[in-house]
Structures are given as structure tokens and as C-alpha cells.
């Protein structure tokens, strides 16, 4: 049986979705049943879900963003590349 500390440390180290199915199962069972760390670690997992969803959506987000390099910046970069070739 896992301890709260093991569960918390594992979640601090890595995204629960990246763990092995067995690790994930142990973690989920502990968090579902634990009165001490269950609530807090469930929120840690929610933020991991958010970050993962953000990563997935980021491409669309980037495509729709208005920020862009100015013409001067682009020309400067092109020049730098030409000099280097």
C-alpha cells in the first residue's frame, strides 16, 4: 500500500498520465480513498490535466494568436542566416 508521501512525491515528479498503468492504478486508489491527501492531490492531478490539455491545444492557440515578428526583425534574421551560410 502506498503512503501519502509516496503519492505526493510521485505527482510532484511527473504527470500521472505518463506513469505506468500499475502506478496510475495505485495512485488513483489511494487518492480516491485517502482522507488526508485525497483532496489536495486530486487538485494536483486536475492541474496536470489542464497542462496536458493546454499542450494539446497549443498549436491551434498559436495559429490564432496575433503576435508576429516585424518586417525589420524578419529581415535581420534573414541577414544573419545569409551571413552564416
Minimum Å gap between C-beta 43 and other proteins is 5
User: What's the 3-state SS for the chain?
Assistant: CCCHHHHHHHHHHCCHHHCCHHHHHHHHHHHHHCCCCHHHHHHHHHHHHHHHHHHHHHHHHHHHCCCCCCHHHHHHHHHHHHHHC
From the list 23, 15, 22, the residue with the least C-alpha distance to 46 is 15
Stretch 19-58: interaction string toward other proteins, x if CB under 8 A: ----------------xxx-xxx-xx-xxxxxx-xxx-xx
Minimum Å gap between C-beta 45 and other proteins is 10
Minimum Å gap between C-beta 37 and other proteins is 5
Contacts with other proteins by CB under 8 A lie at: 3-5, 7-9, 12-15, 35-37, 39-41, 43-44, 46-51, 53-55, 57-58, 60-63, 65, 67-69, 73-74, 76-78, 80-82, 84-85
Amino acid at each position: 500500500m502506498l503512503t501519502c508521501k509516496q503519492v505526493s512525491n510521485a505527482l510532484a515528479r511527473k504527470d500521472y498520465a505518463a506513469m505506468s498503468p500499475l502506478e496510475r492504478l495505485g495512485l488513483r486508489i489511494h487518492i480516491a480513498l485517502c482522507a488526508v491527501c485525497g483532496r489536495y492531490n486530486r487538485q494536483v492531478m486536475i492541474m496536470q490535466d489542464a497542462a496536458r490539455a493546454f499542450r494539446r491545444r497549443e498549436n491551434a492557440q498559436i495559429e490564432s494568436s496575433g503576435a508576429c515578428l516585424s518586417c525589420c526583425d524578419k529581415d535581420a534574421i534573414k541577414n544573419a542566416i545569409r551571413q552564416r551560410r
